[in-house]
Structure 1
């Protein structure tokens, strides 16, 4: 009986598939690589996402203080961030003929899940150009003003 039990255990261990880790590839620049001169990206095709507290974020087109759209508080998901990304990508592509560039700025109050959700939405909305950047004090004040910091 013991032999039969070990045979069954061995059989099920060898025939089951283990869960494979799910990970998203994130290309980061090499620290030793020389920086190349790049053409600056126009503020009219730059979207900034400020990740705040309580699973909320704030987004705007342009640069802080001179944004082309008013800062808007939103959530994550298909009816919030995804819808905004797709709409703004189409609008900017129609106006400029170029892709939108998204700057993701997590705050001290945002959680790791918020960052992963934002990156997932970039992938789902097919946004090819995005960067993760440190948040500035002016942007933290903007989050405080809208009570999401």
Structure 2
């Protein structure tokens, strides 16, 4: 008999899987989802709304009432760094509308005095936390710097309740034209 070639058997090697990369990816995914979960939580803002009032003639309407009217301060921004400020509602203002300049002796001084007067009034009415409500109305001719300056003045005066309204009423347009 002829010598038959013997089959060469390969040795079986120990198979090991390196999981280092899998662990790194897992940690990155865990961190990613934790950050996304934290950033997607809703942020809450306080909303101050006037009390509702039932009126037979108009149905259910919102009534600002005297306590809100006394807290309203409207700032109109126009071209050439022009600021007009009035308190209350335009058809029934508290005092006259006046033109004010930017700066420490202008708008800042007025905001501090209005805030002080409104807080004194609110305290006398038994509501010590009710500060001013400022309505900022930039015109289409005013520049972005003026809006940023007014927002900075809100931060300096620590006025928490303010809103930016991009539209003027016809009466406010007449007021700007007259000043």
TM-score normalised by L of structure 2? 0.59
Distance (Å, rounded) in 2 between the aligned partners of 1:135 and 1:67: 16
Distance (Å, rounded) in 2 between the aligned partners of 1:37 and 1:48: 16
Q: Which residue of 2 aligns with 1:122?
A: 154
Q: Does 1:106 find its partner at 2:138? A: yes
* Runs (5+) with no aligned partner, structure 1: 1-29, 31-35
Q: Residues 67, 37 of structure 1: CA spacing in aligned structure 2 closer, same or farther, 3 A cutoff?
A: closer
Q: Residues 63, 37 of structure 1: CA spacing in aligned structure 2 closer, same or farther, 3 A cutoff?
A: closer
**Cα RMSD, aligned residues only:** 1.8
Q: Does 1:142 find its partner at 2:175? A: yes
Q: Deviations over 1:48-102 (max 9, x none)?
A: 0000121010001111121112001011111100000000100110012320110
TM-score normalised by L of structure 1? 0.70
Q: Which residue of 1 aligns with 2:103?
A: 77
Q: Residues 37, 112 of structure 1: CA spacing in aligned structure 2 closer, same or farther, 3 A cutoff?
A: closer
Q: Does 1:39 find its partner at 2:39? A: no
Runs of 4+ in structure 1 displaced over 6 angstroms? Answer: none
Distance (Å, rounded) in 1 between the aligned partners of 2:158 and 2:107: 13
Distance (Å, rounded) in 2 between the aligned partners of 1:88 and 1:99: 9
Q: Which residue of 1 aligns with 2:163?
A: 131
Q: Which has the larger radius of gyration?
A: 2
**Does the 8 Å contact 1:107/1:140 carry over to 2?**
no
